[in-house]
């Protein structure tokens, strides 16, 4: 690190507020990580199909002692890969992937919060950060794709049904109906009234039907 590179290491509350206010870019590209540091804190990509980078960067932001930033352009990344799940817009596949990531994110967030005293002292940040993660998936993928393909088509899709069954067992159909009912009440994407409520309100209704979600708040 050269002397001209500013040090932005701050207290945890400032970091988390910065994250919630989009101060830090969520992509994993354009960043360098020490292997020893990643191994020491067991930081890995957690296998989400959507919003995996966002979770990885948050995990680093929570556990890094020091991080620095600079404005130099060191390399260029070409985007537009049509094989990317997040860019595949013509099939329900991205909706299936979004659902899987939505439910899996709840458990993955526990991994981010592990052994960090700050989150025991300020549990409200657990709720804020988890809501931020699931709102990203819902608002950018689940709800737009639901509105694009429609309830009738998605309700008949076997892969969609399998996601609910895999997480909720014989209560899968009930959870699917509850979630889809909430999506039916959403304004069209692009509307000034479009504002995802996150998963917490839904969990109040759903957490008792699945051991996977039981105890979530």
Per-residue pLDDT reduced to its tens digit, 6-64? 444 458 888 899 899 988 888 887 788 889 999 999 999 988 888 888 999 999 999 98
- The whole-number average pLDDT for the span 84-112 is 79
Token pair recorded at residue 178: 């509850």
What is the pLDDT of the chain when averaged over all its residues?
78
Q: Is residue 171 part of a domain?
A: yes
Q: Taking 70 as the threshold, does the pLDDT of residue 68 lie above it?
A: yes
Closest CA to 165 of 157, 50, 196: 157
Q: Taking 90 as the threshold, does the pLDDT of residue 149 lie above it?
A: yes
Q: Is residue 216 part of a domain?
A: no
pLDDT at 58: 92
Q: Is residue 2 part of a domain?
A: no
Q: Which residue has the higher pLDDT, 169 or 39?
A: 39
- The whole-number average pLDDT for the span 158-167 is 92
Q: Is residue 175 part of a domain?
A: yes
Q: Is residue 23 part of a domain?
A: yes
Q: Is residue 3 part of a domain?
A: no
Q: Is residue 214 part of a domain?
A: no
pLDDT at 75: 75
| Domain around 63 | 12-209
Paired strand residues for 134 = none
pLDDT at 95: 92
Domain count, the chain: 1
Share of the chain above pLDDT 90, in %: 22
- The whole-number average pLDDT for the span 93-101 is 90
- The whole-number average pLDDT for the span 188-213 is 49
Whole-angstrom Cα distance, residue 160 to residue 157? 5
Residues 103, 138 contacting (CB under 8 angstroms): no
Q: Would you state the torsion angle of the CA atoms of residues 189, 194, 195, 196, taken in this order, to the nearest 10 degrees?
A: -40
pLDDT at 188: 56
- The whole-number average pLDDT for the span 67-79 is 74
* Backbone CA torsion sign across 179, 184, 189, 194: negative
Token pair recorded at residue 159: 């892969």
Q: Is residue 45 part of a domain?
A: yes
């Amino acid at each position: 690190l050269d002397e001209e590179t500013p040090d932005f290491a701050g207290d945890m509350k400032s970091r988390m507020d910065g994250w919630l206010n989009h101060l830090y870019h969520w992509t994993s590209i354009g960043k360098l990580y020490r292997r020893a540091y990643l191994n020491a804190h067991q930081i890995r990509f957690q296998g989400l199909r959507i919003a995996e980078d966002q979770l990885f960067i948050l995990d680093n932001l929570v556990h890094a002692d020091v991080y620095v930033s600079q404005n130099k352009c060191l390399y260029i990344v070409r985007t537009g890969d049509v094989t990317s799940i997040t860019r595949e817009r013509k099939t329900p596949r991205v909706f299936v992937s979004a659902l899987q990531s939505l439910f899996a994110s709840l458990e993955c967030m526990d991994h981010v919060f592990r052994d960090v005293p700050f989150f025991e002292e300020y549990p409200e940040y657990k709720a804020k950060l988890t809501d931020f993660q699931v709102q990203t998936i819902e608002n950018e993928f689940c709800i737009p794709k639901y509105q694009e393909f429609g309830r009738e088509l998605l309700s008949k899709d076997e892969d969609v049904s399998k996601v609910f069954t895999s997480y909720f067992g014989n209560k899968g159909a009930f959870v699917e109906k509850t979630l889809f009912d909430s999506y039916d009440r959403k304004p069209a994407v692009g509307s000034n009234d479009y504002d995802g409520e996150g998963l917490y309100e839904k969990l109040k209704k759903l957490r008792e039907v699945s051991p996977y979600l039981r105890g979530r708040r």
